[in-house]
Amino acid sequence: MTTGQMLVPIAVILACAGYLLPFLIADHKKHSRLPAIFGLNLLFGWTLIGWIAALVWALSPSNLSNDQQAEVSR
């Protein structure tokens, strides 16, 4: 296996992780709108505007109270 052949799977994994970065951030933050952020990222992330919108939304504060957020994290 050549070096180029070994780099292709790594590049694909990094590209997928970069594409889904807004979703991964929202998941890590336990964002209240996680399914909507995932949908926006999946459907419109291929456009730069859609990806940036999903990233901004993922970085925005969640509107859940502490009790609701504890329930979501279960």
The one-digit pLDDT tens for each residue of the chain (74 residues) are 788 888 999 999 999 999 999 999 999 999 999 999 999 999 999 999 999 999 999 999 987 655 555 565 55
Alpha-carbon gap, residue 38 to 66, rounded angstroms: 23
Alpha-carbon gap, residue 10 to 6, rounded angstroms: 7
pTM of the model: 0.78
Structure tokens at 29: 């933050």
